[in-house]
Structure formats: structure tokens, C-alpha cells
Copies of this chain bind each other. A is one copy, B any other.
């Protein structure tokens, strides 16, 4: 499986708090534990040419993991459209945390993808509500994260195909934190945690969910659908 971890990679350059936590970038941390799981992983970032997402790269990518936050608008329309199209053509997509507001995710959802948020060093507890799903395999009843950014309902997404995880936040909110969607031939998994100022992607359970997620969104076998004008399969006698 060829995985591309895409990261905006700006906070790490501008905020020493972030670069201290993720010296190789958030993409580096994500790539590391996905490689450990036996996949071929490369990374791409916003400031590379074509954001690192040339046609050549896109065409051989089986699964993309997307992290972005403060510079969604700097992702070009053209590249965002290409990534969306690759998803419709079968590339799996794992959207992390603030990627909820990325052009790619919003185009695929058709909604604003808006939500409530707060940075207050508060506790998050993600409860598993679909314990038999492949993405929650290996987890206990919940994942506890000592300090995270809060995301709260209402989360403006279409009704998910499957709801896997619901977060409890110390400050009083809840959030649909793990959800799957299908678009075209592509499988999509949205997973909430991962604010840049916390070491969330070193959390073993968070890594487990992302490792499970890339496997679940991966789709290597679906042939291109046949659309357009079609000859009848049966005689039409009513004419």
C-alpha cells in the first residue's frame, strides 16, 4: 500500500512549541508509525511545488492522510480538485483533526464542515460506539487524551455512513470524532484528534486508530464503473 501523508507544515516552522513536539513535522510523526505497520509511506507538504501532489504522485497513491489547519486557502483549487477526483476514483482518504476544514473534505462532504472549538488544555475521552468495526479493533472502551483542543457539536457534516467514536470533553461538549463516508469508489475516514500543540500522535491508541483507518479506506479492487448510454439487457416489448 502506497500512503502519502500530506501536512500543511507551517506551525512546525513558526511555533517552537510545535516543532519541539514534532521535530520531523506532524507528517514525519504520522509517517513513522504507518511505516512501522509495514506500508510504503511518503510525505508531501504545502510549500512544495504543486503542494507535493503532482499527477505522478497522485496516480500511485493508494491512501492519503491529510492534516491542515491555518492555510487551507493556500491549497490551490486545481490540486484540491485533483485530490477529490482521485478519491472518487478509489484512493482512500484519512482526514485528521483540523483537516475538517480543508478544501478536499468540504468538496467531498458538500457542507460547511463547521464546528465549535476551544484551546483550553482540557481532557478528551473518545468512547467507542461501534466496537466491532475494523477501525476500532484493538481499542478498549475509550481513548483518553490528557490535553487536547475541544471540538464540539453541532458538526456540520452529512450523516456519516458509520459513526465509530464520540468524544466527551471536560468543558461540557460532545463530538462525533470518528466517522466513515463513501464517495464514488473512495472510502473516507474522519478522525478528530491531533492539535499541533499536543503530542497526540504519539498516543498509542490514536496511532492504532490511524493504522486501522488507512487499512479500512484502502480499496484496490473496484473496477471503474460503467456509466452512460446502455443497451437493453432484455427485449423491450411495450414499444
Taking the closest CB of chain B, its distance from the CB of A233, in whole angstroms, is 3
Among A35-43, A53-61, A129-137, the one that faces the other chain is A129-137
Whether the Cβ atoms of A154 and B131 lie closer than 8 Å is yes
Q: Please report the C-alpha to C-alpha distance between residue A226 and residue B140 in the assembled complex, in whole angstroms.
A: 10
Smallest CB-CB separation from A107: which chain B residue?
B110
Q: Which chain B residue shows the least CB distance to A235?
A: B237
Copies of this polypeptide in the complex = 4
- Among B132, B147, B162, B238, the residue within 8 A (CB) of A123 is B238
CB of B117 within 8 A of CB of A229, answer yes
Instruction: Please determine whether B227 and A183 come into contact, CB atoms closer than 8 angstroms.
Output: no
Assess A176 versus B129: contact at CB under 8 Å? Given A152-B230, A230-B117. yes
Interface segment among A2-10, A17-25, A165-173, A198-206: the answer is A165-173
Identify which of B108, B163, B234 contacts A170 (C-beta below 8 A). Answer: B234
Q: Which single member of B108, B146, B236 contacts A238 (CB below 8 Å)? A: B146
A187 near B: Cβ within 8 Å? yes
A97 contacts the other chain (CB 8 A):
no
4 other A-B residue contacts (CB within 8 Å) besides A125-B172, A159-B161: A128-B153, A131-B185, A168-B172, A174-B174
The 4 closest A-B pairs by CB, nearest first: A172-B233, A171-B232, A114-B227, A172-B234
Residue contacts A-B, CB under 8 angstroms, 19 given: A84-B110, A88-B112, A115-B227, A117-B230, A121-B239, A128-B154, A129-B153, A132-B219, A137-B221, A147-B238, A153-B166, A154-B226, A158-B158, A158-B183, A168-B173, A170-B238, A171-B234, A173-B230, A173-B233
Which A residues have a C-beta under 8 Å from some C-beta of B? 84, 88, 90, 107-112, 114-118, 120-123, 125, 127-132, 137-138, 141, 146-147, 150, 152-156, 158-159, 161-163, 166-174, 176, 181-187, 219, 221-223, 225-239
